[in-house]
Chain A
Amino acid sequence: MPLSPRSEPALAARLPERAGVGLKLDHVKQILEEKSEIGFFEVHPENYMGAGGPPHHYLSAIRERYPLSLHGVGLSIGGAGRLDGAHLQKLRALLDRYQPQSFSEHLAWSTHEGHFLNDLLPLPYTQETLRLVAAHVEEAQERLGRKILIENPSTYVAFSASDMDEVDFLAELAGRTGCGLLLDVNNVYVSATNHAYSPEAYLDRFPVHLVGEIHLAGHAVDEDESGAPLLVDTHDRSVTDAVWTLYERVIARVGPVPTLVEWDSELPDWPVLAAEAARAEAILFSAGEGRDARRAAS
């Protein structure tokens, strides 16, 4: 099915320095009808690997009007086995068809010996892992014909084998492969709380010049057997104040970056999600004005 001519924002080469939201088919009719003012949309490509039907129909309609990001959850970049060639081929076909402005994946693994575990599982940060992940990122970039972004994970356990810090690991990965980074501020907060380190210190060291996109999401609060806080990255509620504060800190440091609000289960009505995006965009725009004012003054 040939696409109709795309709108001007949809034709942009990169994601705009605006807020976007994860696209849900529950919301799509309302979005198209009211022509929602959203900077871009993001989808999991794995949900669009059927032959046809409503998913492709609506994604095509969205793509004609908005910039798009494909955010993979199934490549298992950190898996000890080989990358799934058939999956790479399907990803390439979707990239060719929809021409998204961005493609990203996770610093995680999710397949093991022919089984898909459907979660983003943690990695020990070692030279061995770095060599493996770098080789997989290079292979993926070659097969997909583009630079990809790699996202920092939310983690609940850590490995005694780790001898590198996560920030250094990601910076080194980007240095070796040329990939960009996706900075999930909620994941930083969740992991930092779970492993008792400072999220501010993590963010202040993060190589923000490599960040092509930021993610925000909600998390659940629990505690472990010892009563220590245990945060779970659930994407089922609004972004917490602590994460908004960290986000403002990042934006103040780096300036406007395309920012996505993720909400994947217990979906709210569309206006609630749109309001979350508007809140992120207000922070982005104030940073943009600050930057422009500084440029004008210098």
Chain B
Amino acid sequence: MRAAPLPELQAGFAAALFDPDLPAPAGLTPTPGRNGPDGKRFSVYRNNVVVSLSRALRDAYPALRRMLGDEFFAAMADVYVRRHPPKRPVLLDYGAELPEFLETFAPARRHPYLPDVARLERARLRAYHAADARPFTLAGLAALPEEALGALRLQPHPATQLLISRYPVVTVWSMNAGLTEPAPVDFSRREAALVTRPGLEVETRRLRPGGADFSQALLAGARLGEAAEAAAGKAGFDLAANLADALGAGAFLPPPAAFPPIPPEKRG
């Protein structure tokens, strides 16, 4: 029998890796000293592929794993990995479709907040790997002439992402990330999260009332005055506190030189 050319051989090998119902691919030699099939030996490759990708998911979604438990998470990862094998040899963003997958994954439907917890963890991972930049600080804002503030447009930091949820996503996440003590959760509460990374640590802020509209407007390129107007209708909106949250987290970049800081001797 003539051996299959390499492309054909690799096609058969790759197909059998992801489908446990297929036999080991053709063209393997029997183990020396015996004539049986190479089932278990080929299974090492099957196992390596699925286990290594499941591990990548587990590392990317630590709070989700804690919520689901190791066994449930592993079973879910097994299905996900076969349905969404990676397309590139870099796995830093592997598992990006997990939130949408969870929405359609029947065993997880009883907990409709799970996809948003996954979205928050994904936002944090993207912030972790995002480009570095020095953020705009509250002190920087204070150095601008007051009359210029309303027209100020802020550029988002490359790590900044906003997640607006119908669930108390930050509360649930922080309990399962081991950052806050477990406590009863009011699942009717809606929360929005601002995620960024001003230095080496990823920041996750639960936004106050009106903060979602305010941050969303700023991230869309609105002027500070316009963003304040967009949020003004929300009960309890406090512009100064929201601005302190956003800049305190490091969510924006310093404005370009159009607004040069005032030298200290000319202030006041």
Q: Is the CB of A128 within 8 A of B89?
A: no
Stretch of A6-14, A50-58, A203-211 contacting B (4+ beta carbons < 8 Å)? A50-58
**Residues of chain B contacted by A162 (CB below 8 angstroms):** 29
In the complex, whether B52 has a CB less than 8 A from a CB of chain A is yes
Nearest CB of A to B18, in Å: 8
With A115-B86, A121-B13: A159-B44 Cβ-Cβ less than 8 Å: no
* Binary contact readout B1-25 vs A (1 if CB under 8 angstroms, 0 otherwise): 0011111011101100100000010
- Interface flags, A229-258, vs B, CB<8A=1, else 0: 010100000000000000000000000000
Number of interface residues of A (CB under 8 A): 57
Query: With A112-B11, A159-B9, A196-B32 known to touch, is A119 a contact of B86 (CB < 8 Å)?
Result: no
- B92 on the A face (CB < 8 A): yes
Q: Is the CB of A160 within 8 A of B27?
A: yes
Instruction: Give residues of chain A (44-99) contacting chain B, Cβ–Cβ below 8 Å.
Output: 46-47, 49-57, 73-76, 79-81, 84, 87, 90
Q: Mark A207-231, 1 if CB is under 8 A from B, else 0.
A: 0000000000000000011101010
Q: Evaluate whether A230 and B44 lie within 8 angstroms (CB atoms) in the complex, with A51-B131, A52-B131, A161-B3 already known.
A: yes
Distance of A113 Cα from B29 Cα, bound (Å)? 25
Please state if A84 and B39 are interface contacts (CB–CB under 8 Å).
no
- Interface flag for A177 (CB, 8 Å): no
CB distance from A196 to the nearest CB of B (A): 4
A228 contacts B34, CB within 8 Å? yes
The residue from A54, A79, A116, A119 contacting B48, defined by CB atoms under 8 A apart = A119
Say yes or no: A224 contacts B41, CB within 8 Å. Answer: yes
Interface string of B38-52 (1 = CB under 8 A from A): 111110110011001
- Residues on B with C-beta less than 8 A from A115 are 14, 85-87
Q: Which residue of A lies closest to B86 (CB)?
A: A116
Whether A43 sits at the interface, judged by CB under 8 Å, is no
Q: Are B91 and A118 in contact (CB under 8 A)?
A: yes
Rounded to whole Å, the gap between the CB of A224 and the closest CB of chain B is 4
| Contact call A53/B49, Cβ cutoff below 8 A | no
Instruction: Tell yes or no: B234 within 8 A of A by CB.
Output: no
Chain B residue, CB-CB nearest to A234: B48
| Residue among A111, A119, A128 making CB contact with B6, cutoff 8 Å | A128
> Nearest chain B CB to A242's CB is how many angstroms away?
19
Would A225 and B11 be within 8 Å (CB), given that A46-B91, A51-B130, A230-B44 are in contact?
A: no
Taking the closest CB of chain A, its distance from the CB of B229, in whole angstroms, is: 34
Residues of A within 8 A of B55 (CB): 265
Q: Pick from A75, A80, A161, A232: contact of B44, CB below 8 A.
A: A232
Interface residues of B in 204-240 (CB under 8 A from A): none
Interface presence of A24 (CB below 8 A): no
Task: Pick the residue among A53, A225, A265 that contacts B197 (CB under 8 A).
Answer: A53
In whole angstroms, how far apart are the Cα atoms of A121 and B10 in the complex? 9
- How far apart sit A112 and B16, CA to CA, in the bound complex (Å)? 12
B106: interface (CB < 8 Å) = no
Tell me, yes or no, whether A5 is within 8 Å of chain B by CB.
Answer: no
Judge whether A84 and B29 touch: CB under 8 Å.
no
Q: Which residues of B contact A232 (CB under 8 A)?
A: 44
A192 to chain B, nearest CB (A): 11
The closest CB in chain B to the CB of A74 belongs to B89
Contact of A118 among B42, B53, B127, B200 (CB under 8 A): B53
- Flag if B86 contacts A118 (CB, 8 Å): yes
| Interface residue? A291 (CB, 8 A) | no
Complex Cα–Cα for A158 and B56 (A): 28
Contact A230 B10 (CB under 8 A): no
Which residue in chain A gives the minimum CB-CB distance to B87?
A114
Say whether, besides A114-B87, A194-B41, A49 and B29 are in contact (CB < 8 Å).
no
CA distance A54 to B55 in the complex (A): 20
Across-interface contacts of A159 in B (CB, < 8 A): 3, 9, 27-29
A contact residues around B42 at 8 Å (CB): 156-157
With contacts A47-B92, A50-B92, A119-B52 taken as known, whether A156 is within 8 angstroms of B41 at the C-beta atoms is: yes
Whether B92 contacts A128 by the Cβ 8 Å rule is no
What are 23 residue pairs bridging A and B, where the CB atoms are less than 8 Å apart in the complex?
A: A46-B92, A50-B92, A51-B131, A51-B158, A52-B130, A52-B131, A54-B128, A74-B89, A79-B10, A80-B10, A114-B87, A116-B85, A116-B87, A123-B6, A124-B9, A157-B38, A159-B3, A159-B27, A161-B3, A196-B33, A224-B31, A224-B40, A226-B31
- Known A119-B49, A158-B28, A228-B33; further 14 A-B contacts with Cβ < 8 A: A46-B90, A46-B92, A52-B132, A84-B88, A116-B86, A116-B87, A118-B53, A119-B52, A124-B9, A157-B38, A160-B29, A161-B9, A194-B41, A224-B38
Closest 8 CB pairs of A and B: A74-B89, A50-B129, A161-B3, A52-B132, A112-B14, A51-B131, A80-B7, A196-B32
